[in-house]
Amino acid sequence: MTFEAQTMTETERQFAARAIRRKQLFRTISNVSIAVAVMLAAVYGFERLRDPTFAIAPRAVIILLILLNARQNLRQHKYAAILEKLTRPG
């Protein structure tokens, strides 16, 4: 089965165009999210070294959620890249 851009409705074309325009934004947000998660892990690790009673579990959940968000943004970047290839004329 092949995909043809001509079979898309105007709403679908607009959706694809928006996703394609935001492709680089998705990758940037993903990279920033990973950097924030690493930074938080380092800060929390340092705090844990300074204070052995420092609760790490709730903060680990925050880091996990940030990493899941980064993964979702990377997935959106990949979808936008595929949409760009599929909707390219020629």
Per-residue pLDDT tens digits for 52-61: 999 999 999 9
Q: Is residue 81 part of a domain?
A: yes
pLDDT of residue 1: 43
Q: Is residue 32 part of a domain?
A: yes
Q: Is residue 2 part of a domain?
A: no
Q: Is the pLDDT of residue 22 over 70?
A: yes
Q: How confident is the model at residue 34 (pLDDT cuts 50, 70, 90)?
A: very high
Average of per-residue pLDDT across 49-76: 97
Q: Is residue 46 part of a domain?
A: yes
Contact 19, 76 (CB under 8 A): yes
Q: Is residue 59 part of a domain?
A: yes
The structure tokens listed for 88 are 């390219």
Q: Is residue 73 part of a domain?
A: yes
The number of domains in the chain is 1
Share of the chain above pLDDT 90, in %: 81
Which residues lie below 8 Å from residue 10, measured CB to CB, with a gap of 6+? none
Q: Is the pLDDT of residue 28 over 60?
A: yes
Q: Is residue 29 part of a domain?
A: yes
pTM for this prediction: 0.82
Question: What residue numbers bound the domain in which 56 lies?
Answer: 10-87
Q: Is residue 5 part of a domain?
A: no
Q: What is the 3-state secondary structure (H, E, C) of the chain?
A: CCCCHHHCCHHHHHHHHHHHHCHHHHHHHHHHHHHHHHHHHHHHHHHHHHCCCCCCHHHHHHHHHHHHHHHHHHHHHHHHHHHHHHHCCC
Q: Whole-angstrom Cα distance, residue 42 to residue 62? A: 13
pLDDT of residue 87: 87
